[in-house]
Structure 1
Amino acid sequence: MNKKLNLIALTSLVLSSMLGAGVFSLPQNMAAIASPIALIIGWSITGLGIIFLAKTMLLLNQLKPNFQGSIFAYAKDGFGKLIGFYSAWGYWLCAVIANVSYLVIVFSAISFFIDTPNHIFFGNGNTWQAILGSSILLWLIHFLLLKGTKTASIINIIVTLCKLIPLFIFIFLSIIAFNLKKFNIDLMGINLNIPILKQIKDTMLITLWVFIGVEGAIILSSKAKNFKDIEKSTFLAIIITLSIYLLVTLLSFGIMNRLDLANMKNPSMAGIMTILLGKWGYIFAILGLIISVCGSYLSWTIMAAEVPCIAAKNKIFPIIMSKQNQNKSPSYALWFTNISIQLCLMLIWLTKLDYNNLLTIASEMILIPYFLVGAYLFKISIKKFNKYNLFISLGSCIYTIWLLYAAGFLNLLFSLILYTLGLIFLILTKIANKNILLLNNKEKLYCFILLIISFYAIYFIKK
C-alpha cells in the first residue's frame, strides 16, 4: 500500500468507515428505545467519549510511533502477549462481522426494488440469492484492493461524497418540515414506561456502532502523506459525523411522533423521505443507503486487512500475514480476511441472522480493544506522571467501562464465547510457528480460565 493518503483521502476514509447503514435506520432504532431528551444526553455522552477515545489513540500514536497506530500493539506492550493477541483478535473479528453486516444490508436494501409480498428474492439479505450476490461483491472488492490503497482511496472519496448528498438533502428537507409542537410531545419518554437512565443506557451500543471506525486514519498512519493530517482528519470526521447523527435523529421527532417512528420498517429514513418527497424520496433514500454501505464496506475491508498485517509485524499473528504483493497490498491478510467473511456469509444463510443481530455482535467485540487503549495510556502516564495524558486516559477508560456496563451481562457472555474461539486460531498459529506468542505460565493459566468461563457462558445462554 503506497504512502499517498492526503488529508481528504484520510478524512473520507474515516467518514466512510463511520457513516454506513446505521444512519439510515437511526430514526426508528432510537425512537423504539428512547425519548428526545434521553437521545440528547446519549449523543452528548457518546460524542464526549469518542473524543476522549480518539485523542487517546492520537496521543499513543505520537508517544509510540513505532507501533504505527496499532491498538493491539499497545495492549501487547502494556499487558503482555496474550492480551495483545486477544485485542487483535477482537478488533479483527469486529471488522469481519461489520463487513458481513454491510453485505447483508446492501442486498436487504436492493430487495425493496425486487421483492414482492408473494416472491421473496433477497429478503433481509440472508437468502441464498442474497448470499450469492454478497459473495460476488466481496470478491470484486477483494481484487480491487489487491491493486493497492491508492486506487481504492480515489473510489472511496467519490463514494463518500455520494453518500453525503442524500444525508444533507434529508437534513435540509427535515429542517423545513420540522414541527416543534410534535417534537415537544413526550420529551421525557413517559409513554415508554422506562426510566430515563435506562433509556440512555439502551442507546449506547447503537451510538457506539455508528462511531466504530473512528480510528481509521490512525490505523493507516503509516500510509499518510503528512503525519499532522492524521489528527486533523480524525477530528474533522468526528465533528461532521456527530452533527449528522444528531440532526438525523432529533429532526425525525419533528416530522413524526415517537410511536410512529418506532413502528417504522428500516431503513426508516426512507419512510420519512416518503413523507417529505413522496415515492421518489423513498427510492432516493434506498439508493443513498446502498451507496453509503458500499463505501463503508470498502473502507472497512481496507482496515480489516491491515489488522492481521500489523499484528503479524508485531509477532501476534502468523508472519506470513505481513507479506505484501507488488502493489504494496497485504495480500495474505486480505485473502485471510475475505475467506473468513465468506465463511461468515455461509453461516448467515444457515442461521438467518439479520443486520441488527450483527450490529450488536460487532459492537460487543470492539469494547475490550477500546478499553485496553485507554488503560495503556493510563499505565504509561502514571510512570511519567503526565496530568493531561492521565486526564485523557481516564476519560477514555470511564467511557469504555460505561459501555461494558450498558452492553448487559448476556451480551458480554456471548462476546466472551467469540473471544474463546481465538484460542483455536492461537493453537493453529503455534502449530505453524512455535516461535510466535511464547506465553508464560500465568498467560497459559488465563487461557485455561477463559476456556472454563466460556463453557459456563454457553450453558448460561442455552439455559
Structure 2
Amino acid sequence: MSTESQQHLTRTTMMGMVVGSMVGAGIFSLPATFANATGPFGALIAWCIAGTGMLMLAFVFQSLAVRKPDLDAGIFTYAKDGFGNYIGFMAAFGFWAGSCLGNTTYFVLIKSTLGAAIPVFGEGNTIPAVASSSVILWSIHFMILRGVKQAATINRIVTVAKIIPIILFIIIVAMAFKKDLFVDNFWGGGDYNFSDVMSQVRRTMLVTVFVFIGVEGASVFSRYAKNRADVGWATVMGFIGVLCLMILVTLLPYGVLMRPEIASMRQPSMAGVLQAVVGTWGAIFVSAGLIVSVLGAYLAWTLLCAEALFTASKYDLVPKVFGHENQNGVPSTALWLTNSLVQIFLILTIFARYAFDLTLELTSAMTLIPYLLVAGYGLKLAFTRETYESDPARLRNRELIVGIIATLYTFFMILAGGMVYVLLACILFAPGTLLFVVARRELNLRTFTRTELILFSAIVVGAIIGIYSLVTGAIVL
C-alpha cells in the first residue's frame, strides 16, 4: 500500500472491514447447515460455545493491539514473537492458505446459487462453474492490481449493500414466526439426552468457526490505523454485531418451517426459507444479496491474503520477492500467488463430492491454527507478566482467564473437526514450508531449530498419512 494511504483508516472503517470479512458465504448457508445437524436447543448451545470462545479471541486481539503496538502486521507477528520463526511462518501460511480456501468456497456458493436457475452450474463444482468462476477470479485480480485504495472503497460500499437483504430476511421471517412450530423443532428430533444434543452440537462446530473467520480483519491492517486503540474497538464491536445476525438467521427459520424441510434445502438455504415465507421473489432477492455479499467478501479476503503474504516477507518468513509492490502500491507478487492458489483449489473442486462442505470445513481447520497461536501468545504474555509490569493484578488476572478460554476453545475446535482435516492441513503445510526454507537461505540463516525440526517432521509424517489415506480411499473428498 502506498505511503499516501497510510494511517488513514478510522475505527468505523476498520469495523466495516471486520464485518465485511466475516459476513460472506457462511451466513447465507446457516439455516440448512444447522438444521442438518440439530434443532434450536442444540443451535443455542453451539452459538453460546462459539460466541464465548470467539469473543474471548476477539478480546485477545483487542489486548494485543494495545500491549504490542509494534507488532502491526497482523496475526502471524504474534506467533513469531511468542514462539519463534517457524511457528510464525505456520501462522502466516495457515492464515493465507485458509483464506485462499475460503475464497474458493465463495465461488462454489455463487455458482451453486446460480445453479438453481442455470442447471449447468450444478452444485458449483462443475466444469462450466469452475470456468466462469475463473473469469471472475482474474477480473477482480486485475482490478485490485490497479490500486488497493480503490478496492477498499468498493468493499465499504458492498459491506453496506449486503447487510440489507440479511436484515430484511430477519424482519420478514420474524413477522412470520410461529411459536408452536419453534417448540416442535426445539429438541432437534433426537433422544433429548445430553450426549445426543452434544453430538448434534459437535457437527456444527467447524461451521461456527467458518462464519467467524475475519474477526482479525482490523488487526491485519492495523498499521494503517489512525489510533491503535481503534483496532481492538473495531474487532470487538464488529464481532458482536455479526454474532447477533448469525444467531437470528439460524434460529428464526425453525419458527416458519419444520427442521427436515430446512435441512433438505439446497444452498443458499436462506433463499429457500424466504421463498417459503413470501414466494419466489424472496429467493431471488436473497440470491442477489448473496452474490453481492460473496463478491464483496471475496474482495476483502483477497486484500487480506495479499497483505498477509506481503507482510510475512517483511518479517523474513517467506521469500523477499513477495514484498514487491507495483506502481500502484499493490503487493502484486503476493496477489499473483494468492489467486493462482485459488485457481488450483477451484480446479480441484471438480473432483470433490461435496465441494462446499469440504472447502468450508478445511478453511476452518487451517485458520484455527493461527487463531490458536494468537490465543496462546496472549496467554503467554499474561502468564509471564510481560507488558503487565505497571498494570493492576486484577487486569492481568482477567486477561489471563480470557487467554485460557480462547486457547482452550481454539484447541478443542481443532479436535472437534477431526483428524481428517488435520491430515489435509499437513498436506498443505509440508510443501508450503519450502517458502520458509527459501526465506531462511536468503538470509544465510539456519533453517530450523531442533524443536522446529521435530515439528516439521511431524507435519511431513501427517502429510504422508494424509496422501496415503486419499489414495486408498480412507479419506474421501
TM-score of the pair, normalised by structure 2: 0.91
- 2:391 is aligned to none
The answer to whether the 8 Å contact 2:66/2:228 transfers is no
2:431 maps to 1:421 = yes
CA-based RMSD of the aligned residues comes to 2.0
CA spacing shift, 1:176–1:76, aligned 2, 3 Å: same
In the alignment, structure 1 segments of 5+ residues that lack a partner are none
Map 1:363-378 to 2 at 5 A.
Answer: 363-378=364-379
Equivalent AA in structure 1 for residue 430 of structure 2: T
The answer to whether the 8 Å contact 2:63/2:232 transfers is no
- 1:24 is aligned to 28
- 1:276 is aligned to 277
- 1:179 is aligned to 178
- 1:188 is aligned to 187
The answer to whether the 8 Å contact 1:82/1:443 transfers is yes
Map 1:288-367 to 2 at 5 A.
Answer: 288-351=289-352, 354-367=355-368
Deviation track 1:217-239 (CA, whole Å, cap 9, x = no partner) reads 11111122333332222222112
Rounded Cα–Cα distance in structure 1 between residues aligned with 2:288 and 2:446: 46
Map 1:56-71 to 2 at 5 A.
Answer: 56-71=60-75
2:440 maps to 1:439 = no
Rounded Cα–Cα distance in structure 2 between residues aligned with 1:353 and 1:310: 34
1:411 to 421, 443, 457: 421
User: Which one is further off, 373-382 or 291-300?
Assistant: 373-382
2:400 maps to 1:399 = no
2:103 maps to 1:103 = no
CA spacing shift, 1:188–1:136, aligned 2, 3 Å: same
Equivalent AA in structure 1 for residue 230 of structure 2: D
Equivalent AA in structure 1 for residue 371 of structure 2: Y
Deviation track 1:40-98 (CA, whole Å, cap 9, x = no partner) reads 11111111111110111221222222221522222122212121111211111101101
SS at match of 2:329: coil
Rounded Cα–Cα distance in structure 2 between residues aligned with 1:244 and 1:449: 40
The answer to whether the 8 Å contact 2:11/2:234 transfers is yes
- Offset of 1:153 from its aligned partner? 1.8
Equivalent AA in structure 2 for residue 181 of structure 1: D
2:90 to 86, 90, 101: 86
Rounded Cα–Cα distance in structure 2 between residues aligned with 1:74 and 1:60: 8
Rounded Cα–Cα distance in structure 2 between residues aligned with 1:437 and 1:367: 28
CA spacing shift, 1:420–1:32, aligned 2, 3 Å: same
Equivalent AA in structure 1 for residue 422 of structure 2: L
- 1:149 is aligned to 148
Rounded Cα–Cα distance in structure 2 between residues aligned with 1:266 and 1:45: 25
- 1:380 is aligned to 381
- 1:201 is aligned to 202
Equivalent AA in structure 2 for residue 127 of structure 1: T
- Offset of 1:427 from its aligned partner? 4.2
SS at match of 1:185: helix
Rounded Cα–Cα distance in structure 1 between residues aligned with 2:133 and 2:266: 22
The answer to whether the 8 Å contact 1:9/1:154 transfers is no
- Offset of 1:321 from its aligned partner? 1.3
User: Which one is further off, 28-37 or 230-239?
Assistant: 230-239
- Offset of 1:213 from its aligned partner? 0.6
Rounded Cα–Cα distance in structure 2 between residues aligned with 1:353 and 1:252: 24
- Offset of 1:186 from its aligned partner? 4.2
- Offset of 1:21 from its aligned partner? 1.4
Equivalent AA in structure 1 for residue 25 of structure 2: A
User: Which one is further off, 320-329 or 78-87?
Assistant: 320-329
Rounded Cα–Cα distance in structure 2 between residues aligned with 1:155 and 1:412: 36
2:464 maps to 1:455 = yes
SS at match of 1:421: helix
Rounded Cα–Cα distance in structure 2 between residues aligned with 1:380 and 1:285: 45
Map 1:108-123 to 2 at 5 A.
Answer: 108-115=112-119, 120=120, 122-123=121-122
- 1:262 is aligned to 263
- Offset of 1:178 from its aligned partner? 0.2
CA spacing shift, 1:65–1:323, aligned 2, 3 Å: farther
Equivalent AA in structure 2 for residue 196 of structure 1: V
Rounded Cα–Cα distance in structure 1 between residues aligned with 2:115 and 2:377: 45
Rounded Cα–Cα distance in structure 1 between residues aligned with 2:132 and 2:377: 42
Rounded Cα–Cα distance in structure 2 between residues aligned with 1:302 and 1:428: 24
Rounded Cα–Cα distance in structure 2 between residues aligned with 1:437 and 1:451: 19
Rounded Cα–Cα distance in structure 2 between residues aligned with 1:184 and 1:63: 47
In the alignment, structure 2 segments of 5+ residues that lack a partner are 389-395
Equivalent AA in structure 2 for residue 12 of structure 1: G
Equivalent AA in structure 2 for residue 390 of structure 1: L
Rounded Cα–Cα distance in structure 1 between residues aligned with 2:340 and 2:463: 26
Rounded Cα–Cα distance in structure 2 between residues aligned with 1:445 and 1:150: 42
